[in-house]
Amino acid sequence: MKSNNATEALDERILMLESRKAYEMQLLKEQLHDTFESLKPANIIKSTFRDLTASPEVKHNVVNSLIGLASGYLSRKIIIGSTHNPIKKIAGRILQFAVTKFVGSKINKD
């Protein structure tokens, strides 16, 4: 009689282990799918961009850079305007660079 109970217990244990194996295999397949998805180039770029934009320091630096670039561009347009003279164009680019650098240095001190 003991062998019958032992056989039933063993069969029950085998069924439980097979069920566990099937569950863990499903988890492994899902993890493999998630890994393949995360390694796609588009998803790598998206996650990198998401990580960068989540950082407050990066946001601050981007905003400061945009302010510097915009101020340089606007100062060139206001002072030089649109011209076909190559000397004025060069002077406008130099002015834009100088203003951008000046504004950028003043903003980054904050």
The H or E element containing residue 38 is: helix 2-38
Instruction: Tell me the C-alpha distance between 110 and 94, whole Å.
Output: 25
Residue pointed to by tokens 């630096």 = 61
The per-residue pLDDT for 110 is 56
| Selection from 20-29, 51-60, 88-97, 101-110 with the highest mean pLDDT | 20-29
Per-residue pLDDT band for 82 (boundaries 50, 70, 90) equals confident
Torsion of CA 86, 92, 98, 100, to 10 degrees: -130
Condensed to tens digits (0 to 9), the pLDDT of residues 2-21 reads: 678 889 999 999 999 999 99
* End-to-end Cα distance, the chain: 85
Segment 20-35 shows an average pLDDT of 96
